[in-house]
């Protein structure tokens, strides 16, 4: 896949974890395939992964477990 920014190197397929929000609650999707440009860092979500995200956010897929993480807020400049 070519980078949408026109970089000279092909994008690489990687598996990632991403946090999304459904009804103001965080949910995590693991092993989600995305394409990443090694030159500029641009990410692109293939249609297959977009369908998985859609099914998770709409409640058509059941969770396989739970996760918890501490929440941090970056300090605001004065």
The ranges assigned to domains in the chain are: 12-57
Q: What is the pLDDT of residue 64?
A: 87
Q: What is the pLDDT of residue 34?
A: 97
Distance, CA of 15 to CA of 35 (rounded, Å): 9
Predicted confidence pLDDT, tens digits, the chain (78 residues): 899 999 999 999 999 999 998 888 888 999 999 999 999 999 999 999 999 999 999 999 988 888 777 777 778 777
Q: What is the pLDDT of residue 67?
A: 76
Distance, CA of 20 to CA of 57 (rounded, Å): 8
Q: What is the pLDDT of residue 50?
A: 96
DSSP structure class, residue 8: S
Q: What is the pLDDT of residue 74?
A: 74
């Amino acid at each position: 896949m070519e980078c949408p920014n026109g970089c000279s190197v092909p994008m690489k397929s990687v598996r990632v974890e991403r946090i999304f929000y459904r009804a103001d609650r965080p949910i995590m999707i693991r092993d989600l395939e995305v394409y990443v440009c090694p030159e500029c860092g641009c990410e692109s979500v293939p249609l297959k992964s977009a369908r998985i995200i859609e099914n998770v956010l709409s409640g058509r897929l059941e969770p396989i477990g739970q996760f918890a993480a501490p929440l941090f807020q970056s300090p605001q400049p004065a």
